[in-house]
């Protein structure tokens, strides 16, 4: 789930990420590259890996198009923290994510949180960010 809490008159914007996809690839300038594909656009971050956790370097940005009152608004998301944690139980691989940041558009700053999980059993990952 992606939530943005904005000042009035915008208020809270929620985007259910269930069914959206996150891809992880070996990084070229970092240990890992993560791309979250959403209805607002793609957000690609460089991550450092330590054991079963990967974290983004703070202040990376993504350009997204958020629909507000029926109008697409160009929005800059500045990530202050993004943590992925992997695990495995009974043959099912899991990945949880928790992130915080600030979205800025038309002079407004909104506090953003992202939380979700994904799982993979066997073949390709079945991502279900919540």
Q: Would you state the pLDDT for residue 130?
A: 45
Neighbouring-strand partners of residue 49: 54
Q: Is the pLDDT of residue 129 over 60?
A: no
Residue where the block lists tokens 């939530």: 3
What would the DSSP string read from start to end of 52-94? Answer: TEEEEPTTEEEEEEEEETTEEEEEEEEEEEEEEEEEEETTEEE
pLDDT digits (tens, 9 = 90+) for 78-115: 999 999 999 887 777 888 999 999 999 988 999 999 99
End-to-end Cα distance, the chain: 4
Could you give the percent of the chain with pLDDT greater than 90? 61
- What burial class does residue 46 get, using C-beta atoms within 10 Å of its C-beta: 0-12 exposed, 13-18 middle, 19+ buried? middle
| pTM reported for the whole predicted model | 0.83
120 pLDDT tier (thresholds 50, 70, 90): low
Q: Would you state the pLDDT for residue 128?
A: 44
């Amino acid at each position: 789930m992606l939530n943005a809490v904005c000042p009035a008159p915008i208020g809270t914007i929620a985007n259910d990420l269930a069914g959206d996809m996150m891809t992880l690839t070996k990084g070229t300038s970092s240990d890992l590259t993560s791309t979250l594909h959403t209805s607002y656009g793609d957000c690609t971050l460089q991550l450092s890996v330590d054991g079963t956790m990967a974290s983004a370097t703070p202040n990376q940005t993504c350009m997204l198009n958020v629909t507000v009152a029926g109008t697409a608004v160009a929005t800059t998301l500045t990530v202050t923290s993004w943590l992925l944690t992997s695990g495995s139980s009974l043959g099912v691989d899991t990945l949880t994510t928790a992130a915080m940041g600030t979205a800025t558009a038309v002079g407004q700053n909104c506090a953003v949180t992202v939380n979700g999980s994904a799982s993979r059993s066997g073949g390709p990952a079945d991502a279900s960010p919540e």
